[in-house]
Every structure is written in C-alpha cells, then in structure tokens.
C-alpha cells in the first residue's frame, strides 16, 4: 500500500481518535471496534475495471445512552478508515460521524448520522497522459436501520443508505490538475451487513455499492471522474 505523507498522518490520527473513543469508558456507555478484510472493485469513466484487497477499520461509541422514556435516542459517535492495498487505482477514505439511533421495540434500531468523509481518488494513466483527480470532502447524512433476530437477538442485519451532496475539492496529492473541479450531478452509497454476536465478540459480512456522476464538461473530460465502486468484505469486532 502506497500512502503519501498526508495520508500516513491521517491514518495515525484516525487510529489515535479511535483509541481515545473506545478507551474512554468513564464517559462512554458502550463502544465497539472492528476490522473487515475484503476486496473492492472500481471503475472510472470508461477505463478498465480494477480490483484490489482492502482493509476497513471502524469504531463506534454510545456517548449518551437513552433514558428509560420510550422514544429517547442513543447518541452515537464513530469513524472508519477504508484502506485499499493498491492506491494507484483505488481511493483511501476516512470518515467520522455523530447522530441519534432510536430503539423501536426490542428488535429494530432506526437513526441517521451527520458524517464527514475525505476521499483520495487516484490519478489515472489515460493513453500515456496522467489525469489527476481532486480530493473530495463530503458531508453525508446516511439513514441507518438495524434488525436483531434469532436466539436472544444475537443475529442482526444492518442497512445504511446515503445520498451524497456536492463535494468540496482540494488539489490532488499527485499535483495540480489542468482541469477545473468537476460539476457534481448526483451520487449515492448503499451498504448492507449481516452478522452474529458471540458475547462481546461479533462477526459480520458486508457489501457496499457507490456511484458518483459528474456533468460532462471541461472538469470531467470523457467522464473520467464518474466513479462506480463495489466492495465485499467480512470481519470481526469486539464490544466493550
């Protein structure tokens, strides 16, 4: 995995933040930490589809547990890092979020998160010419739904759907681009997980699909910024 200096610093800060979040038991009601391994497949414009391995690290903390009154939410804080093995054709990502999650009866959890995500799209070699893509800072508001079932509610499925908003652009890590930032059209991210808890431990499998579309103009020649990503992974985690 080839990471630039800025990305290495962000990885360190991310792990430091996760450590502080998951170790702050004096204030947190419950926290979890997990690692998923899998592969991601990406395609930019009409370029060839590429696939690489990926490690995803995530952590969450319930910083404010709901009161006994029905309808009170848990306030959840968390973050994740998505680290592809090959960063020359795939995008590392870092995200942090906070938001309410409501317990609906004994089996359902519904909520939404206010989330900030930083994406580092790769520079592409197009017929011997380099096309650097702008780094993207995104505000996301994913809707979250979780259902527990089976013996003692140990099995679960979780879905997360997020329409994307227009990103804020920063210069590519590989250098300045000769093109302006692309004009955002629409984008979405859909993620689904299924798993089972074993005491403090849990195991789960995940699938995520994402699509970014930009207007075809000077900032998006030959639709080279349009991006389709599909990820499949599985992993384990622990709850504190």
Tens digits of per-residue pLDDT, 163-174? 999 999 998 877
Residue spans of alpha helices (H) in 170-221: none
- Picking from 82, 114, 112, the residue whose alpha carbon sits closest to that of residue 98 is 114
13: confidence class by pLDDT, cuts 50, 70, 90: low
Does residue 126 have a pLDDT over 80? yes
Kindly give, in sequence order, each residue whose CB lies less than 8 Å from that of residue 115, ignoring residues fewer than 6 positions away: 95, 96, 97, 99, 139, 140, 141, 142, 162
Domains along the chain with CATH numbers: 5-239 (2.40.128.100)
Query: Residue 196 corresponds to which tokens in the numbers above?
Result: 């089972």
For residues 196 and 152, what is the distance between their CA atoms, to the nearest angstrom? 11
Q: In whole angstroms, give the CA distance from residue 101 to residue 74.
A: 5
Q: pLDDT for 172-204, tens place per residue?
A: 877 788 889 999 999 999 999 999 999 999 999
Most confident range, picked from 92-96, 126-130, 231-235: 231-235
Supply the pLDDT for residue 25: 47
Tokens of residue 167, six digits = 């990103």
Distances, alpha carbon 27 to alpha carbons 4, 23, 78, 100, 138, in Å? 35, 9, 14, 17, 29
Judge contact between 115 and 135, C-beta under 8 A: no
Backbone angles phi, psi at 72, to 5 degrees: -70, 135
- For 103, residues 6+ apart whose C-beta sits below 8 A from its C-beta are 66, 74, 109
Structure tokens at 124: 């592409």
Averaged confidence pLDDT in the chain:
87
Whether residue 95 contacts residue 77, with contact meaning beta carbons closer than 8 Å, is answered with: no
Q: Which residues pair with 71 in a beta bridge?
A: none
């Amino acid at each position: 995995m080839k990471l630039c200096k800025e990305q290495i610093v962000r990885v360190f800060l991310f792990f430091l933040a996760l450590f502080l979040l998951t170790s702050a038991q004096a204030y947190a009601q419950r926290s979890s930490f997990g690692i998923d391994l899998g592969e991601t497949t990406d395609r930019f414009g009409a370029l060839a589809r590429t696939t690489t391995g990926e490690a995803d690290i995530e952590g969450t903390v319930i910083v404010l547990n709901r009161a006994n009154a029905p309808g009170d939410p848990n306030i959840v804080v968390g973050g994740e890092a998505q680290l592809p093995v090959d960063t020359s054709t795939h995008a590392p990502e870092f995200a942090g979020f906070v938001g309410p999650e409501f317990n609906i009866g004994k089996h359902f959890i519904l909520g939404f998160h206010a989330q900030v995500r930083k994406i580092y799209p790769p520079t592409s070699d197009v017929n011997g010419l380099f096309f650097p893509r702008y780094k993207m800072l995104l505000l996301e508001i994913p809707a979250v739904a979780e259902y527990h079932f089976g013996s003692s509610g140990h099995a679960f499925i979780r879905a997360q759907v997020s329409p994307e908003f227009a990103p804020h652009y920063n210069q590519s890590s590989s250098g300045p681009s000769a093109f302006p930032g692309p004009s955002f059209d629409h984008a979405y991210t859909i993620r689904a997980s299924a798993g089972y808890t074993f005491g403090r431990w849990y195991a789960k499998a995940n699938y995520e699909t994402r699509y970014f579309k930009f207007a075809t103009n000077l900032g998006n020649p030959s639709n080279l910024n349009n991006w389709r990503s599909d990820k499949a992974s599985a992993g384990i985690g622990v709850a504190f």
